[in-house]
Amino acid sequence: MASLTLFEKLDQIESRYQELTAQLSSPEVLGDSSRYQKLARTHGDLSEVVGKYRQWKELEKGLREAKQMLMESEDAEMKQLAHEEERQLLERKGIVENELKRLLLPRDPNDEKNVILEIRAGTGGDEAALFAAELFRMYSRYAESQRWRVEVLESSPSSLGGLKDIVAAIQGDKVYSKMKYESGVHRVQRVPATEQQGRIHTSAATVAVLPEADEIDIKIEPKDLRIDTFCSSGPGGQSVNTTYSAVRITHLPTGLVVSQQDEKSQIKNRSKAMRVLRARLYELEQQKQHEQIAAERRGQIKTGDRSEKIRTYNFPQSRVTDHRIGLTLHQLSDVMDGKLAPMVDALVTHFEAERLKQELVEA
């Protein structure tokens, strides 16, 4: 990426930002709520880049002044101070330039989307189900800290109070951008409550984070669906085994099957099942695109495939390690309580840096 091209682009962005600032205060836009919201969203998206670019321009101005002082000053002490200031400004300028390049990377179009979160107990029986329930609590607490809304779509409890599996929708601001690297196998090492001899067991649960697809993203033809209704099972009051409220939807072209029975209303169950189906079909479509890109490009950046063992939660040593970036935190209780920001931020920074390297290689 040539510097001239980069800064020409930044000048254009700043001009656009100034235009939007003026438009947002005009009576015409203020009187049209939908237009105002659209322009305000674009203005907000550009604000971080513009702020960083203005910071870069201030550093550039400071460098010019430091160089001028070096040229004009005859005092040795002043020259030394100017040299030190120039060194510090050059260092900060390099950091800001890298941040600008990162901000100008093409955005993942899914970053703004809500997500469908699926957690399933893996190897480890009852202990894996208990861990799956703890993972769901962890993500729920994290969502709460981000002011996101969590809605359970489907769940299967285990006998000891854990979860065999759970599917939930998480809605809020830029949910997928922060949650997308959570997909994969999460491993836990600890002494189970049922273990008499104090031996450490290893269990696992899988996490899948799917961007929630809109109807515009995925068009599902009615002829491609087989919808079966049946009596719900398990706890649920008088409606259990008496009304055909549970729904099973089969997508015939792909063979994907989604069942939903949490609600007493067949209509609500059908609506929830369609949300999950749409998200899974959207993920399938994305996988096809990723496979095609991977076939054409070598050194494809990993993005947290769910088949990878991505993280280990070690309770005896109170540590959690993300194997993809080699990050270990010794605050396991905080992490399990939803304080995921240090881990999430480190993952986002790492994978954005990898994308930036790839962009610069291909530029």
Q: pLDDT of 64-117, one tens digit each?
A: 988 888 888 788 888 888 889 899 999 999 889 888 887 887 777 788 889 999
- The number of residues making up the chain comes to 363
Give the dihedral of Cα atoms 165, 171, 175, 180; nearest 10 deg: 20
What kind of architecture, by CATH, is found in domain 115-213+304-362? 2-Layer Sandwich (3.30)
Average pLDDT over residues 175-180: 94
The larger pLDDT score, comparing residue 218 to residue 276, is at 276
Per residue in 77-91, pLDDT (tens digit) is 888 888 898 999 999
Burial class (CB in 10 A: 0-12, 13-18, 19+), 132: buried
For 3-103, CATH number out of 1.20.58, 1.10.3470, 3.30.1560, 3.40.50 equals: 1.20.58
Q: Is pLDDT above 60 for 236?
A: no
What would the mean pLDDT of 227-252 be, rounded to a whole number? 70
222-294 in CATH: which number? 3.30.160.20
Query: What is the pLDDT of the chain when averaged over all its residues?
Result: 84
Query: What pLDDT is recorded for position 303?
Result: 39
222-294: same fold as 3-103? no
Report the pLDDT value the prediction gives residue 293, as an integer from 0 to 100. 45
Instruction: Write down the domain spans for the chain.
Output: 3-103, 115-213+304-362, 222-294
Residue 150 buriedness (CB in 10 A; 0-12 / 13-18 / 19+): middle
Better-predicted residue by pLDDT, 34 or 232? 34
End-to-end CA distance of the chain: 5
Residue 20, number of CB atoms within 10 A of its CB: 18
The closest of 63, 60, 57 to 82, measured between CA atoms, is 63
Angle between helices 76-103 and 33-72 (to 10 degrees): 150
pLDDT band at residue 3 using 50, 70 and 90 as cut-offs: very low
